[in-house]
Structures are given as C-alpha cells and as structure tokens.
Chains A and B, each alone.
Chain A
Amino acid sequence: MKRALVTLVAAGLLLAGCSAAPATQPTPEPTAEDTLTGTVNVFAAASLTETFGAIADAFTKEHPDVNIAFNFGGSSALATQIVEGAPVDVFAAASGTTMKTVTDAALTDGEPTVFVTNTLEIAVPAGNPGGVSGLADFANPDLSIAICAVEVPCGAASKTVFDGAGIVAAPDTLEQDVKAVLTKVELGEVDAGLVYKTDVLAAGDKVEGIEFSEASTAVGKYPIVQLAASTNKNAAAAFVAYVLSPAGKKILDRAAFGTP
C-alpha cells in the first residue's frame, strides 16, 4: 500500500509538472538540439505503474521540457477509453488482446511492439503460512486461494496454466485484477495467489514468490504503440523509443520483466 502511495505521489508530482529529481542530483543541462516539449499522455497497464514512473523520471531528465502524464489502469478499461476517444499519445497494454481492440479500431500509428514479457508466479504471504510448494496446491480446497477472474488478462493466463498442467483450481475468490490478488496475499487473507513476477518483486518483503515450470505456457506479452491521434508526435515517439532503448530495458529488467 505504502509503495503504491509513493508511486501515486510521484505520479502526481510528474503530472503537476514538477521535477521529481532529488535536490542533491542536479538536472543535466538540456542539449542544444533538444526541441521536444509539451505533454505526452501515456495510458499504461497498472502493472507498469512503478517501472513507467521510473522510466518517465529518466526520460524527463534528458528532455526537461517534456511532461509525461500517466493514466494507469486495467488494460481493457484503458482500451475502452481510447476507443471512446480519450486524448492519448502512447498506449502500453498488458496483453495482445486488449491492444487488438485499439488496432482493430485503426487508431494506432504503426504496429505495436512487444517490449516486455511477464510470467506468472505463485505469491504467498511472508513465511508461507499455508506451506504452498507448487501449482498443485491450488487444487487444495483447505487452502485459501485467490486468482484473477478469467475475464481479465491475468485470469486468462492463469486458466491457460492450470489447463496445461491439468489442475482443477479451487479458488476462494476470482479478483478483478492482479493487484487485488496481490493485496489479499499481502494482507495474509489467502495462502496463495497467482500473480506476475513483477508484482511479487514490487510487493517487497510482505510477499514471497514461488516459481513454477508450468508458467512458461502462458507468457504475457506487453505491446506498446503510438496513437494516430497523438498531438505531440515527436515527444511521443521519443518516449516509445526510450522504453525500447537499453536504458529503458534496464529499468524494466530491474522490475523482473522478461525480454521478448
């Protein structure tokens, strides 16, 4: 929760156009040829909240006249908003299906690029009170289990994993997004939940991750694209390029995202 709050505050500062750089670390002088200015509106999957915040930090150090404004949320909700005409420059989704809603509506500027992958991991509360050791434990009705509802991307991925492993899961709750699963694990309400690797890392000490081999059957792909309706094309293109650059990749790697 605290982490989310910090991120929120940081995002708020960014939105307000303040420099989020600490005072002890002076902002580098902009290069003479840097002509990028204005605001870039980025709609991004909720699971990218921490990493995109950090990427925007690094990006605006190089381009201090650019302001990155984020809208983080469930990918499908964001896609709906874009199709309904939200003013967006860049869209980063957590699944190809949700991105397809936007490409089908012919709203993108070029083809989306998959920039990271994410794999599922078992999340258990610190100390693993339920003694969970692998995916098979999800079939144990005596354990309290949370997974994503099949309607949302993480739920679809979970279903693929269970189907592939031939396991009939016995969940107590089907959550509306991966962060909701994580919250229940963090609070110890469930013995195990199925979330993404990045989520386990982001949750810090409160959650332990357990890798499992079946995860490879449902690797989540994150596509990013610039939108045709963008009003700040140069800056938007620069931001997308930065996400795909080695500098961006380094930040994404740190958060446990995989390379496509």
Chain B
Amino acid sequence: MSVAARLRLARGAFTLDLELVVTVGRTLALLGPNGAGKSTALGMLAGMIDLDSGSIVVGGRVLDDDSTHVETEHRRVGVMFQDYLLFPHLSVLENVAFGARSTGVPRAAARGAALEWLDRLGIADLASSRPPQLSGGQAQRVALGRALASDPKLLLLDEPLAALDVEIREEVRAELGRHIREWGGPTILVTHLFDDVVALADDVVVIERGRVTQRATVRELVQAPATSYVSRLVASWSDD
C-alpha cells in the first residue's frame, strides 16, 4: 500500500468523506460529476485545503493527520493541473527544471535532468520555446514532465484532457497513459470523462455528493455499475 488517505471535510451543506487507497504502480481514478467533491479531494491531497479530520499517508510518510500538516512545498505530491499552469515567463526547459532549481539543485544539473525528461517525453526540440507558443498536446507533455521531474511520491492528474480539443484527445490520452505507466509511481486521476478512466486507470472510486458510491476495477465498473450516474456513463461510452 503506497498511498492511503481518509479525507473528511464539512463546508456548509457540503460534506466530503472519502477513503482512497492506491497501490504501487497502479492508477486510481476518482470519477464523479461536477460538484461531487473531486477538486476538493485533490486540493486536500496536494496540501492546498486543510482536512477537518482524517489522514494522508504517502509512501509511509504522514502528510496529514490530527497533529501533522505538511505544507504543499514539502509534500512531494506532483500535480498536473487541468489547464497545465505552465509558467508563461519561463521557457519549457526552465519550467521542467523549476522543481529541481527550487529545491537547491544547481542550475546546470537541473537543466540537464530537465532535458532528459523532455527527451523521454519526445519534446526535447521544444526546450527553448515559451508556453504560449505550444499546442495543447505539447503543453500537456511539458506539464507532465514538470510534475515528474520534481520526483513526486504521488502524482495527481486533474482532468488531464479537459483543456484539449475533442479531436486530439484520443491520441494525447494514449500518449499520456504510456508515459504514466513508464513512470510507474502511484497516480490519482481526477476526471468526469469515462474515456479517461478506461484509458488511464486501473481502479476506480466513484464519488457523488461527497460520498463514495462505488469502488471497483475498471472492468467491474463496466460490468456492474452501482448507480444510475455510472450506468449512464457506461452506456454512452459503449455507444461510441
């Protein structure tokens, strides 16, 4: 067991109570409609939102519990944000080298490691480009490289394909899946797209209105949807 989290939070009428377990080398999808609490859960895992109670343990290290709260910058939880949030004033190479530079790695070493990552992701030729010049697919790869280059112990993917045009999603999604499997660390995918789940995830946690409504492998989910929300997703997916 490499990641275990129990997330509890109450904000007015909304309550979130969620248990997540990710084993090494597997990708867990957090699937749910808008407003189910997916983004909140992601914020809690990344240390941006405090838990009311519960705990987060990553690779045997306690990030949150009743007496602990590790700040975002010390959690080693990598995030690939929905709109990537590449730093517009830095080159692609500097973006990817940013994590290492921030933790004290000398400039040349950080850039060398960043270039290796760009090479591995097949975008070494973009090293000196600026983020505004990139296509959506390219930006996504840079964002993935930036997150992975900081050597995270948990990778969070926040709606990784939502910012892309529908026509190119399929190709980018396949590519993303390949890179994540190559990386091999524990990954949590937050999405409302069933296609993402099928292509990228091994296990699924379905949340609706802050509660877990189904916990299954992708295959089990397709075969036995527990709620009407999942049934509709599965139905519209098999129609395609």
In-complex A–B contact (CB below 8 Å): no
Interface residues of B (CB under 8 A from A): none
Interface residues of A (CB under 8 A from B): none
